[in-house]
Homo-oligomer: A and B are copies of this chain.
């Protein structure tokens, strides 16, 4: 199998399987809470590249983890990602109309429902990780919860989003933009890889190279996102583009220029792949994901 078809097959499978997990775990209740769960399903099912569940499942598969358990943990990480997008799209945040090519949750429903749907997906993530169906071992469950909580809260994604808000009023330099993006995007991508390794019972010290891989692809991912925002087409991207320049925010592209930014992303991906040297063919999917990250246009 070529690396291209390995990736295409894995992406097709993860999109289908993550949708199935959300569908099974989010039944619509027959009472006035129905609107909340419908909004959660609207946001969670049928959209996005599912990069975080893909990273989680690709990592855990290297250690022989059962795919059903990995998919549940993948849905938990994706639920955090989706909740953050719902809140990020709100009028008081980025005020976006379009997400994955369809109206954002606050437009399809209303703002209050969007706030609550994000909040409820946030709980959903931790509930799924603490469920024995994800892991029967409470040591593993607690480490999953702790790792995702750290990646999501003020030391991770939410902290990065705060820096992003402050960025509109500040002149951030390259180290600060790097730190911002490591928190805002990198922390959750890193958690996806780390959760896969935790499910695979890889001890903390045995995950150093995987953390290196995740850190490098996380930054490369963000640089490419900045390039898409700078050069992209909203129809292809499935979301608004040109936002950073409009908001007066410094990005990798504004600080490095598009050519050096693209070169930097390529170097980071090579470095990410180098971290996987201890692994043989079983890491080919993680290698393919790393390459995809610089090649994608949305």
- Name A residues whose Cβ lies closer than 8 Å to a Cβ of B: 29, 31-33, 35-37, 40, 83-84, 87, 90-93, 106, 110-113, 115-116, 118-120, 122-124, 126-127, 129-131, 138-139, 141-142, 145-146, 149-150, 152-154, 156, 158-159, 161-163, 165-167, 170, 176, 179-180, 183
Contact = CB atoms under 8 A, between A and B. Distances in A.
Contacts of A110: 92
Contacts of A167: 32
Given A131-B146, A138-B139, A154-B40, A162 B35 contact: yes
B146 A142 contact: no
14 contacts: A35-B165, A84-B119, A87-B116, A92-B115, A123-B154, A124-B149, A124-B154, A126-B149, A127-B149, A138-B139, A138-B141, A138-B142, A142-B142, A142-B145
- In the assembly, how many copies of this chain are there? 2
A251 to B, nearest CB: 15
Contacts of A141: 138, 142, 145
Contact of A36 (B36, B139, B158): B158
Nearest to A127: B149
A113 B161 CA distance: 9
A146 B170 contact: no
A31 B93 contact: no
Contacts of A93: 112, 115
B119 A122 contact: yes
